[in-house]
A and B are shown apart, each in its own frame.
Chain A
Amino acid sequence: MARERWGSRLGIIMAVAGSAIGLGNFLRFPVQAAKNGGGAFMIPYFVALLLVGLPLMWIEWTIGRFGGGFEHSTAPGMFHTLWNKNRFIKYFGVIGIFGPIVIYIYYVYIESWLLGYSWFALTGAYNPCNTQEKMAAFLHGYQGVEQNAYFSGLGPAYLFFVITFATNILILYGGIQRGIETVCKYGLPLLFVLGAVLVARVFSLGAPDPAVPENNVVNGLGYLWNPDWTALARAKVWLAAAGQIFFTLSVGIGVILTYASYLTPKDDVALSGLTAAAWNELAEVIIGGSVVIPAAFAFFGPSATTEIAKGGAFNLGFVTMPLVLQQMPWGHLLGFAWFVLLFIAGITSSISLAQPAIAFLEDEFDLSKKEATLLFGLNTFVLCHACIFFLGSGVVDELDFWGGTFCLVLFATVETILFAWVFGTEKAWTELHVGADITIPRVYRFVIKYLTPAFLLLILGFWLVQEGIPVIMMKNVPAANVRYVLGTRILLVALFADLAAMVWFAWRRRRAKEAVA
């Protein structure tokens, strides 16, 4: 069977940008910037983009295209081709399938909230909620965390979940060109149009309450951008910037490897990787930095904005923003635009998370696209129920820790070392420039070999000490949630073991086929 290919170069750029642009661009970035030095945060942010973000982009695009040349679309096969003397490296590559599945399980559920809230915005369902407390109660009722006047059960949430899940599977069923590429080629431009509309509306707000003229958009921008130079002396700020760059670019998950594997061996990766990163930054810094915090500041003032930012990204997206937008003329349409924007950002990311597992089933077990998609859909549909019914018991946080944080940092560190040190800088540099439309400055040979792995090891070490070990030891888990967290860990171990066994079986099949040939 002929290997699938991207229909156009813009198609894969939009698909990778779509994978990278997620909720974090619009909700996590502004909070991180405001908390870590405002404008001064952009210095470590750009340094991290140059030393970690762009090199990792290029590394993953190159490994992906290289592996695709050997008919591998996922990390186990790719790592094996990079280091074919090592029998065990393919099992490490399992993380490149395991991590995306784990993130997909909770991400697709959160994505369904966005679809639900788009509907609520249009129908005015949350209009009676005119305070932070009431809007938070609306969210908790919808999530099934509490029963209240707004929702008596999980019915609406479940309905929107089923619609969202089915939409994902339908897109994946269409394959690389007709499914993923088509959705991203139309979805991303729409996302930027909606973003531009929201930015224009926020910038034209002025001071919504004439009695408090200092609560205005310009001061809101100042809240986010005024530099606090002392922040640059704090190691925590540099780590936060590196972490933000790392998580925003969708690197270290394994999805770029899979997407790039559908390139032909002579396709450019250097310029395409750079372009996808640029689109992601456009969404993050220009749209993400111009909507949420300035709008919250203009309506609620500095001290309330500080409290809102402390409440985290979900609070900002699902509580503060609907509250802010419904106070403007045409609020229901602006609310709809906001949630549709986030939904597009979500769905272009979730389909990318599903693709490695589907590609693995196709490549290694000779399943058709449709069979592989259905098998993936059935399994993840069952697993998603853990998030739906045990959301309040710490299941999603646990999945996010292992799939969305731990695996990412570990995977990126190992793949960088593998690429620069095992595959070798000379070969890596040559491979990166095959078919390249730009010449990457030679200083990046040094950066990729020494600085990127050192930076990643530093992030891994600091992160393990500061956040990783307390979470692993369950230090902040309430006693009532311990059994759910342990149950989630058992589920994750079983999933990883299952995937590792599939890799073992696939390689045995491969050897048997080679022996016959």
Chain B
Amino acid sequence: MTPGGWIFLGASWLVILALTAFSMYRVLRAKEQDSPPPPAPPR
């Protein structure tokens, strides 16, 4: 494998992993915000 091959493999993996991580992080964060607050503790 040439250095160019490693660069393309690494860059492609990095872009896709970053895209997946970013989008899943946002989805999970939005899910947390959407979920109703826990019920207030009994007084």
Write out, one digit per residue, whether chain B residues 1-14 have a CB within 8 A of any chain A CB (1) or not (0).
11011111101110
Q: Which of B1-42 contact A (CB under 8 A)?
A: 1-2, 4-9, 11-13, 15-17, 19-20, 23-24, 26-27, 30-31
Contact of B20 among A10, A42, A282 (CB under 8 A): A282
A227–B15 contact, CB under 8 A?
no
B-side contacts of A275, CB under 8 Å: 20, 23-24, 26-27
State whether A38 and B27 are in contact (beta carbons under 8 Å apart), knowing that A285-B13, A285-B16, A286-B13 are contacts in the complex. no
Write out, one digit per residue, whether chain A residues 10-49 have a CB within 8 A of any chain B CB (1) or not (0).
1001000000000000000000000000111010001000
CB distance from A33 to the nearest CB of B (A): 10
B27–A39 contact, CB under 8 A?
no
CB-CB nearest in chain B for A272: B27
What is the number of residues of chain B that contact chain A, defined by CB distance less than 8 Å?
A: 22
Q: Which of A259-284 contact B (CB under 8 A)?
A: 268, 271-272, 274-275, 278-279, 281-282
A268 CA to B26 CA, complexed, in Å: 12
A9 CA to B30 CA, complexed, in Å: 10
B-side contacts of A39, CB under 8 Å: 4-5, 7-9, 12
A200 CA to B4 CA, complexed, in Å: 23
B-side contacts of A279, CB under 8 Å: 20
A337 CA to B18 CA, complexed, in Å: 27
CB-CB nearest in chain B for A45: B12
A227–B5 contact, CB under 8 A?
yes
At the interface, is chain B mostly helix, strand, loop or mixed?
A: helix
B-side contacts of A289, CB under 8 Å: 9, 12
| Interface membership of A209, Cβ < 8 A | no
A278–B23 contact, CB under 8 A?
yes
State whether A46 and B1 are in contact (beta carbons under 8 Å apart), knowing that A13-B27, A225-B8, A271-B26 are contacts in the complex. no
State whether A271 and B9 are in contact (beta carbons under 8 Å apart), knowing that A226-B1, A278-B23, A282-B17 are contacts in the complex. no
B1–A281 contact, CB under 8 A?
no
One of A72-80, A214-222, A394-402 contacting the partner: A214-222
Mark B residues whose CB is within 8 Å of A: 1-2, 4-9, 11-13, 15-17, 19-20, 23-24, 26-27, 30-31
A-B contact pairs, 22 of them (CB 8 A): A9-B30, A10-B31, A38-B8, A39-B12, A42-B11, A42-B12, A221-B1, A222-B1, A222-B2, A226-B1, A226-B4, A278-B20, A278-B23, A278-B24, A279-B20, A281-B20, A282-B16, A282-B20, A286-B16, A286-B17, A289-B12, A437-B27
Mark A residues whose CB is within 8 Å of B: 9-10, 13, 38-40, 42, 46, 218-219, 221-222, 225-227, 268, 271-272, 274-275, 278-279, 281-282, 285-286, 289, 437-438
